[in-house]
Amino acid sequence: MSDPVLDRARAVFDRVVSQRRDFHQHPELAFEEVRTSGKVVEWCRELGLGMRMGVGKTGVIATLKGSRPGKTIALRADMDALPIQEASGHEFQSSIAGRMHACGHDAHTAMLLGVATVLREVEFAGEVRFLFQPAEEGMGGALPMIEGGALEGVDLILGQHMAPFQPTGTIAVTYGPAMAATDFFTLKIYGRGGHGAYPHLSVDAIPIAAQVITALQTIVSRTVDPLQAAVLSIGTIHGGFRSNVIAPEVELTGTVRTFDDALRHAMPERIERIARMVSEAHGGSHKLDYTLNYPPVINHPDGAALVERVAAEVVGAANVQRIAPSMGGEDFAYYLERVPGCFYWLGCRPTGVTEAPNLHSPHFDLDERSLLTGMHVMARAALSFLAG
């Protein structure tokens, strides 16, 4: 049976792959996606799409209106790269030292341009809004996009992410909580410095910090319902000057991952209490700076069902998996706080490879055949929603 969407996706596939390689060679960090968004604007202009540039600094909102009024669906791609030195060895590997598209955002952006090209030639009712978002990696570019009107009148939003842990030709969906909140903190432990030979004349911040770290491990293991998910990881520890000096101060940083809103907001006080009590027990003190970062990604059942149904039609039901939530985070969460939708995984692990390097690895790589699947699923899902 012929599928006009697939035919059109096939027709634009080579161009999408070469655009992805071009983005890959020229990675740009958060809010610096000037060249990338320039290419996006060029492509969208060629398609005759309505456009707003410079949204959230480097973002682009492109609009494609159907032949009659109807619902509005937003499709989102992120554009930023990471401060990583690439080690993939590709001929099109990053031309910029210390920067790499190690999270597949080059592919997300190129695919969304492909989807726009496909939908430009198809009849539908309503509106498709293409969101080319800056700064997903840590700086929350979704928020300035939303402030810039990205979601005005939007009924549903979809986003897809490369999944090297899933085979090419598959789609993975999670209902409800899909990715965790990515909160983080800086915790300073203060003592009183002195000579290493005379500890009794000082307050040593090092053993206090060690006890605080140990006690913090009990938050997840002893205060969180075992059937709920939470992670507390200390990522850095810095303190002291040299072997014979008592450290006056230690700085710890860490990340806290949760799905449940009440638990999420209870975590700062639990960390605070342990840091305060343990520090004071030893004559020290503390200061906690806690940042509520990206909220959890919560997929709406309608959005997840739409993706699951369309993906089954496109890649076959056997290639659509429901998977467990990830403790990773995504600023797509901000969109889903405001409108229903779904963020899903696009398998990109090449055949014959059992363990592909994960996202954010300097060896990260993707099977470009997955870009055809990604375009096909996203375009069909948009059309299905607008028709339904």
User: Applying CB under 5 A, which residues contact Ni ion?
Assistant: 103
C-beta closer to Ni ion: residue 130 or 364: 364
Q: Cα separation of 26 and 94, whole Å?
A: 6
Shortest CB 30 distance to Ni ion, Å: 12
Q: Is 121 a catalytic residue?
A: no
Name the active-site residue from 33, 136, 183, 204: 136
Length of the chain in residues, anyone?
388
Name the residue number minimizing CB distance to Ni ion: 103
Q: Cα separation of 385 and 388, whole Å?
A: 5
Q: Is 204 a catalytic residue?
A: no
CA angle 108, 113, 117 (to 5 degrees): 145
C-beta closer to Ni ion: residue 104 or 303: 104
Q: Cα separation of 284 and 198, whole Å?
A: 17
Q: Cα separation of 371 and 16, whole Å?
A: 8
Shortest CB 135 distance to Ni ion, Å: 11
82 DSSP assignment = B
C-beta closer to Ni ion: residue 127 or 136: 136
| Tokens of residue 336, six digits | 């889903």
C-beta closer to Ni ion: residue 378 or 383: 378
Shortest CB 164 distance to Ni ion, Å: 11
Residue 243 one-letter amino acid: S
Report the 10 Å Cβ neighbour count for 1.
Answer: 2
Q: Cα separation of 343 and 325, whole Å?
A: 11
C-beta closer to Ni ion: residue 103 or 381: 103
Count CA atoms closer than 13 A to 93's CA, side-chain side. Answer: 15
Shortest CB 161 distance to Ni ion, Å: 6
Q: Cα separation of 192 and 204, whole Å?
A: 6
Name the active-site residue from 28, 32, 80, 367: 80
Shortest CB 181 distance to Ni ion, Å: 16
| CB neighbour list of residue 331: distance below 8 Å, 6 or more residues apart | 136, 140, 141, 142, 143, 294
Catalytic residue numbers, as ranges: 80, 136
